[in-house]
């Protein structure tokens, strides 16, 4: 039971701090999303973040759930 990750905490942290708090549930996923946030954010003048943010939240929650299995 040690090292269990809360799916709800992952969702809340990612909602407020974006891909930085995906580090709680998945380090590779957080790094990928950080690169995408920066690269696509620059190209689209920030509009891509409206699509990427929900994806980051879902990815973080799924990774936290899988870590508990």
Higher pLDDT, 21 or 39: 39
Give per-residue pLDDT as tens, 32-56.
999 999 999 999 999 999 999 999 9
**Domain chopping of the chain, boundaries:** 15-68
Q: What 3-state class would DSSP assign to 67? A: helix
Is the pTM for the entire model greater than 0.85? yes
Q: How far apart are CA 30 and CA 24, in angstroms?
A: 9
Q: Do 26 and 63 touch, CB atoms closer than 8 A?
A: yes
């Amino acid at each position: 039971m040690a090292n269990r990750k809360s799916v709800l905490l992952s969702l809340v942290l990612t909602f407020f701090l974006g891909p930085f708090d995906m580090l709680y549930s998945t380090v590779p996923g957080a790094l990928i999303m950080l690169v995408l946030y920066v690269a696509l954010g620059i190209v689209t003048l920030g509009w891509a973040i409206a699509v990427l943010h929900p994806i980051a939240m879902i990815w973080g929650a799924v990774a936290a759930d899988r870590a508990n299995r």
